[in-house]
Amino acid sequence: MKPQRSPLFPIFLFVLINLFIFSLSRLGLALWQADRVSAVEGWVALFVQGIRIDVVALCYLFGVPALLTVLFHSSELWKKILRAWLTLGSVFILFMEIATPAFIETYDFRPNRLFIEYLIYPKEVFTMLMEGHQSAVIFGLVFTVLATVIYWKISGWAVKDLRPMSWKWRPVVALLVIAVSFLGARSTLQHRGINPAMVAFSSDALVNSLVLNSGYSVLYAAQQFKDEENSSAVYGKMDTDEMLRIIKAVRGRPESDYISDKFPTLTQNIATYQGKPKNIVILLQESLGAQFIGALGGKPLSPNIDKLAKEGGFFENLYATGTRSVRGIEAVTTGFTPTPARAVVKLNNAQSDFFTIADFLAKQGYDTSFIYGGEKHFDNMASFFYGNGFKTIIDQQDYNNPKFTATWGVSDEDLFDKAHETFSKLQDEGKPFFSLVFSSSHHDPFEFPDGKIELYEQPKATRNNTAKYADYAIGHFFELAKKSNYWKDTIFLVIADHDSRVAGAQLMPIKHFHIPALILGEGIEPRRDSRLVSQIDIPTTLLSLAGGQGNYPMIGFDLTKNVDPDRAIMQFDQTQALMKSNGDVVIQMPNKAAQGYYYDKTKATLTEKTVPEEMKKEALAYALLGSYLYKNRLYQLEDKSEKRP
């Protein structure tokens, strides 16, 4: 009997199999999140646009092998290559869908560029997964191995008995395959091919991400890494002069403060405090958002912070710039505005000659350090810090006999004991110091020592219990600090890098950007500050309180002065928001017009609203500024050759 199967039969078969996998996964995820899908009336759009994206993904994945199959289907070598291609491609699709629920539980979004970034650190991530998500990991690995075997067998059967195609028809069919694959991959006749923004239809970022499939989402994110210098271009265009004019107008600084023709944001700054320069210590708290702070209306998990809030400057209305630790580090050490690209901690052009307050203070004679309980290489921190003014880094290997070691490093108590020891020694040496102390206990899988706190809930390993332990450790540190030789000469900042599990049925879950910030030290007057401020305002304020004056490029406000920033800038994946104290919000998404909203803080809801065009321009200026400064290497300390006379 003559072979009856079309040469393209294996391709068609695996396209159908993977369309089934995509649809089954999307259905399961949608049923899991049914309340949120129903809330935006998204059932029809979710699946119609979902099939569209799935076809796009499969055209990219199988378009080339389809073309080569038409040309070389008679070759036994090509059949083996085709089997491998079909198997590996399908296993990748299945693996990504299996990994999706756990990712959504943590980030409220399908796997995206964070998924790729975490792959760089397999030891930390695998340990975390095995500690907190062991059953999901084991199921995923076993199922992936079984799927590999099954797909390999199916592909072996599919490539058998293919009907030979005449060579005179092969070029014709090949052109047809090229045309179908090209049109299917673009999914539109418009100038720009399809992208996630084109299929987003709701006000819920998670539901919009469910339209995608996880393989497409991750590969689309990977493709964006190559153009991070221009990442903000997705929000729109604005003349550089207009952008800088808007930023300067918002700041309200006189033109005479700008002292460089080369570096457009470089200003001269006079500190409020004019005495002997003080030490600066930043206690950057992992994931300790406002929801965990009683004094901010959160759960009663922070008795120590609540008590300390009555002793210093406590910011009630401060918002993080992002949802990752590196974004928080970027904000509090560099004052840099957030962009859709990765934080500057990870970007190539920021690994040296990029402004940090550590570099600024080092040039003024300060000892500068980063003290961490985990491994310094994580998230590229060591490279960024060493290249930009941090003289010393203390990480996990520098702790002798720690009291408790968890997945992400030693406990917060061990961290603060080491910090106290380090500061006491530096004070004895008579040299001013700056230190960034970064905690890690309040992180999935939520491990901390027994017997330190009365548990808020059962079981022990929860976000709430670990937040309470983090607060306990802060109290432990300040007990030591207040009795120390360095207390009277030091300004302390307690601030979160971001909130824990930033999620919500909105394009921008603003509620989860609200974080605590508390400034303490001798001479700091107790005050609750209700101004709407951003993380980028904190480093300028710290320098002013410590007597650190001079020229720097930060655009944050000095909150020791009579100013009202009246804005918060927030980056959530590829979406950026600018919020004002009256509740007006501008949300910018890639390749879409900016949209106005009203944020009701009491209800934590966003409602569409017409906002002034000037505010939309301000939002775009803020969004474009970071990419412009980064691309042109303009975020540096003063270039004396360019200083104005």
Residues serving a catalytic function are 325
- Residue 14 CA to residue 58 CA, distance in Å, equals 9
CA atoms lying within 13 Å on the CB side of residue 533: 31
Amino acid at 27: L
Q: Is 497 annotated as a binding residue?
A: yes
- Residue 277 CA to residue 109 CA, distance in Å, equals 45
Paired tokens of 145 = 């191995």
Evaluate whether 636 touches 352 at the Cβ level (below 8 Å). no
Longest dimension (CA), the chain: 97
Concatenated DSSP letters for 344-396? TTT-GGGSSS---HHHHHHTTT-EEEEEESS-TTGGGHHHHHHHTT--EEE-G
Paired tokens of 354 = 């990029």
Helices (H) and strands (E) in the chain, counts: 20, 18
Concatenated DSSP letters for 112-137? -HHHHHHHT-HHHHHHHHHHH-HHHH
- Residue 126 CA to residue 138 CA, distance in Å, equals 11
- Residue 315 CA to residue 528 CA, distance in Å, equals 6
Q: Which of 310, 313, 293 is nearest to 302 (CA)?
A: 293
Across-strand partners of 135? none
Q: Is 286 annotated as a binding residue?
A: yes
* CB < 8 Å & 24+ apart, contacts of 127-136: 127/407, 128/407, 128/408, 128/443, 128/444, 128/445, 129/102, 131/407, 131/445, 131/447, 132/444, 132/445, 132/446, 132/461, 133/102, 133/445, 136/101, 136/102
Evaluate whether 579 touches 568 at the Cβ level (below 8 Å). yes
- 3-state secondary structure at position 182: helix
Binding residues for Mn(2+): 286, 497-498
Binding residues: 286, 443, 497-498
Binding residues for substrate: 443
